[in-house]
């Protein structure tokens, strides 16, 4: 069955990014001048999907407004003949069909995905974490690549990233074996294991293609790590019924909810921009030459 829908969980408080995330969704934090969530939507669109459900919570209205039309602003830009900016903001509101559902209590990622059940019905779908940008080396959409793997195996696919073995306790970690250079067959999943319990250093990297039977599994999933309903635990239940594959990321995962990643991503993207890249690169050279050794 073709993948036509995407779910973007974006309800979490963003406690790792306080105080900026106190009254502003972390998904709206800009990389140069574009909110993180817009990069995520662009990735979905490039994969040919135009039906997106966002799971949001309290304090996330700015996301809804960002993708809505703003007629007053459009008029203002027209009057001032600022047509480039006008096209830019009109493009955003024409992006995809975006639907919203409210996660009423923050009971974890698994619970957030469960809210998509009525919207998804009986189809496979993609899940993209709203605070994570995935940069492939050649600029393609990682969701497109994952869809190709899904079509080959007709089974769930998770994006995987090799992480420092000392940091496995921050992620969902998979066990299994390599099928070819970048495809992995998964036979176990564990959320935030200790270094000793981790079956590998391959981490779940914020993109999933799931089949609709995940919803039954979510219903059976007890509270796990941090007393939350974990998507990883529900996938472990689904794994008993289905084969599961991983696509190893060749590229960079930017976790914008993490302050250091946020800064690094802004520097990288600013350096690549046509309108300011040269100045940013010169600035970095200048300050780097004055840095004292650590």
Residues that bind ligand G1P (CB under 6 A): 109, 129, 171-172, 191, 203-206, 230, 232, 255
Q: Which is nearer to ligand G1P, 109 or 209 (CB)?
A: 109
What is the smallest separation between the CB atom of 21 and ligand G1P, expressed in angstroms? 14
Q: Which is nearer to ligand G1P, 158 or 270 (CB)?
A: 158
Dist CA 95 CA 92 (whole Å)? 5
For the chain, how far is it from start to end, CA to CA, in angstroms? 54
CA dihedral 154, 129, 92, 96 (to 10 degrees): 30
What is the smallest separation between the CB atom of 44 and ligand G1P, expressed in angstroms? 17
Q: Which is nearer to ligand G1P, 42 or 261 (CB)?
A: 261
Measured from each CB, the residue nearest to ligand G1P is: 172
What is the smallest separation between the CB atom of 232 and ligand G1P, expressed in angstroms? 5
What is the smallest separation between the CB atom of 109 and ligand G1P, expressed in angstroms? 5
Dist CA 9 CA 116 (whole Å)? 9
Q: Which is nearer to ligand G1P, 43 or 255 (CB)?
A: 255
Q: Please, are residues 137 and 250 in contact by the beta-carbon 8 Å criterion? A: yes
What is the smallest separation between the CB atom of 84 and ligand G1P, expressed in angstroms? 35
Q: Please, are residues 8 and 130 in contact by the beta-carbon 8 Å criterion? A: yes
Q: Which is nearer to ligand G1P, 77 or 108 (CB)?
A: 108
Q: Which secondary-structure segment (H or E) carries 42?
A: helix 36-46
Q: Which tokens belong to 231?
A: 């998507």
What is the smallest separation between the CB atom of 235 and ligand G1P, expressed in angstroms? 9
Q: Which tokens belong to 242?
A: 């289905």
Q: Which is nearer to ligand G1P, 171 or 262 (CB)?
A: 171
Q: Is 63 helix (H, G, I), strand (E, B) or coil?
A: helix
Q: What are phi and psi of 87, to 5 degrees?
A: -60, -40
């Amino acid at each position: 069955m073709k993948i036509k829908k995407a779910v973007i969980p974006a309800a979490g408080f963003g406690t790792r990014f306080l105080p900026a995330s106190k009254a502003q969704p972390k998904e709206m934090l800009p990389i140069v001048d574009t909110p993180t969530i817009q990069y995520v939507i662009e990735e979905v669109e490039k994969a040919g999907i135009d039906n997106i459900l966002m799971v949001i919570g309290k304090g996330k209205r700015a996301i809804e407004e960002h993708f809505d039309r703003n007629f007053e602003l459009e008029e203002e830009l027209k009057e001032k003949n600022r047509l480039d900016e006008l096209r830019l903001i009109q493009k955003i509101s024409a992006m995809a069909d975006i639907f919203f559902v409210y996660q009423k209590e923050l009971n974890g990622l698994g619970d957030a995905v469960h809210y998509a059940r009525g919207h998804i019905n009986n189809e496979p779908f993609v899940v993209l974490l709203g605070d994570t940008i995935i940069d492939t080396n050649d600029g393609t959409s990682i969701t497109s690549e994952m869809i190709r793997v899904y079509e080959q195996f007709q089974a769930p696919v998770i994006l995987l990233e090799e992480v420092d073995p000392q940091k496995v306790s921050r992620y969902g970690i998979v066990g299994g074996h390599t099928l070819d250079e970048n495809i992995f067959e998964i036979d176990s999943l564990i959320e935030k294991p200790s270094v000793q319990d981790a079956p590998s250093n391959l981490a779940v990297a914020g993109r999933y293609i799931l089949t609709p039977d995940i919803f039954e599994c979510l219903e059976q999933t007890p509270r796990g790590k941090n007393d939350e309903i974990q998507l990883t635990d529900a996938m472990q239940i689904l794994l008993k019924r289905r084969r599961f594959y991983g696509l190893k990321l060749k590229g960079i995962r930017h976790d914008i909810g993490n302050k250091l990643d946020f800064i690094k991503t802004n520097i990288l993207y600013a350096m690549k921009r046509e309108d300011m890249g040269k100045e940013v690169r010169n600035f970095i050279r200048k300050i780097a030459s004055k840095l004292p050794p650590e």
